Amino acid sequence: MDKHFHQFISQIDKDIKGIIWLTSGPIKSHLPYFSELNYLFDGLISHSLKEFPNNQTGIFFTNNFKEKFFLIHFDNQNGFDQINEKLNQILTSKESKIAIIHSSPVLEKMILKDFPSIQLKTFD
């Protein structure tokens, strides 16, 4: 495992309730952060790729520090109109901390409009 892998994993602490992952296309194993996310989700993402190879978006759940932990994947070519609807269904507290991989100012503005108390941690 490389340095980047360990740096990312070490920053996903108990306060982060989930991750939003933006890509330009469907989930593929060669994408940046795939290995790290697949590790955090106990291989669930690679298993999903085998079962549903053309999946454009996905929601995955696991536990992190004995708490429910989510990953929402969005293909940013399709937009993220449903992001706040999905967050409403998943989050148990509007004061959560969420990580965003490959964020955009538009996405952050959309989230903070409906969830002003949420903390965003971004990764490029």
Residues 6+ apart with CB under 8 A from 112: 118, 120
Q: Is the model's pTM score more than 0.85?
A: yes
User: For 19-53, how does the pLDDT look when each residue is reduced to its tens digit (9 = 90+)?
Assistant: 999 888 888 889 999 999 999 999 999 998 888 87
Domain layout of the chain by residue ranges:
3-9+18-123
What would the pLDDT profile of 46-75 be if each residue is shown by its tens digit? 998 888 876 656 899 999 888 899 999 888
Residues 6+ apart with CB under 8 A from 7: none
